[in-house]
Amino acid sequence: MNISILAFGIARDIVGASEFDFAVEESQTVGELKQELVRHYPDFAKLASFAIAVNGNYVSDEHPLQGDDEVVIIPPVSGG
Amino acid sequence: MIDIQLFDTDLDTQYCTEWVSTPEAGGVVVFVGTVRNSTSEKKVVRLEFEAYEKMAVSEMRKIAEQAAERWPIRKIAIHHRTGVLYPGDIAVIIAVSTPHRKAAFEACAYAIDTLKETVPIWKKEIFEDGEVWVAAHP
């Protein structure tokens, strides 16, 4: 299935778009998605860290993805 | 009572101070985070803030609610900027009122420290000779 992913901050620069479609297996976990993202965009491995938010909340690597999820790449935050 | 807002216009310290003030609270602590004019001795020209807005608001609300569980907060306001800011501009205001001062200081420190760790807002520093996403790389 294809999921739509939003990218902010340096994640947008790495991907080259603020929103993009990405192919994942059915019930693929967030941890597996992160590995796939690093494979496609090796610059993610250079970041201090990056998290994934699903439907507006941080989720663990074990969290399974669904096709209609709002998936967002959260590079290291720097508000304040 | 919690007031969480993102603005793309100037923040208002006086508004936040007055909003959290209440006769029940003998202590009001206001943290004002401003844009510094240099980083590692490099002159900062401007900062560009962006937010994943709906989650930034919900994460700031979680911080306010967690603070209210730990301290006897009467009112708390967290206002954060997005967009282009210049040295001296206000990036964030956290105002807290509690019956006694110690709790207000502690709750305010907790709120800004946690905001910097969890709220999905990013800033890019623009120098005279380059730019960098703050905290992105180890």
Residue A51 included in any domain: yes
Query: What DSSP string runs through B67-87?
Result: HHHHS--SEEEEEEE-EEE-T
pLDDT of residue B37: 95
Residue A79 included in any domain: no
pLDDT of residue B26: 98
- φ/ψ (deg, to 5) at A67: -60, -30
Largest CA-CA distance found in chain B, in angstroms, rounded: 51
Residue B138 included in any domain: no
Residue B73 included in any domain: yes
Q: Domain residues for B76?
A: 2-133
Nearest to A79 among B58, B115, B138 (CB): B115
- Using a CB-CB distance cutoff of 8 angstroms, which residues of chain A are in contact with residue B119? 77, 79-80
Per DSSP, helices labelled H in B1-138 are 13-20, 53-70, 101-118
One digit per residue, the tens of pLDDT, for chain B of length 138 reads 999 999 999 999 999 999 999 999 999 999 999 999 999 899 999 999 999 999 999 999 999 999 999 999 999 999 999 999 999 999 999 999 999 999 999 999 999 999 999 999 999 999 999 999 999 999
Q: Specify the residue for token string 């964030």.
A: B92
Q: What is the pLDDT of residues A52-65, one digit of tens each?
A: 999 999 999 999 99
Residue A80 included in any domain: no
CATH number at residue A10: 3.10.20.30
- Using a CB-CB distance cutoff of 8 angstroms, which residues of chain A are in contact with residue B125? none
Count of structural domains within chain A: 1
CATH number at residue B87: 3.90.1170.40
A42 touches chain B (CB under 8 A): no
DSSP H/E element including A3: strand A2-7
Q: Domain residues for A67?
A: 2-74
Count of structural domains within chain B: 1
- Using a CB-CB distance cutoff of 8 angstroms, which residues of chain A are in contact with residue B54? 56
pLDDT of residue A26: 85
Q: What is the pLDDT of residues A70-79, one digit of tens each?
A: 999 999 999 9
Residue A36 included in any domain: yes
Q: Please name the amino acid found at residue B12.
A: D
Report the b/e string of B5-39 with b at 16+ CB within 10 A: ebeeeebeeeebbebbeeeebebbbbbebebeeee
Query: A1 vs chain B: nearest CA distance in angstroms?
Result: 25
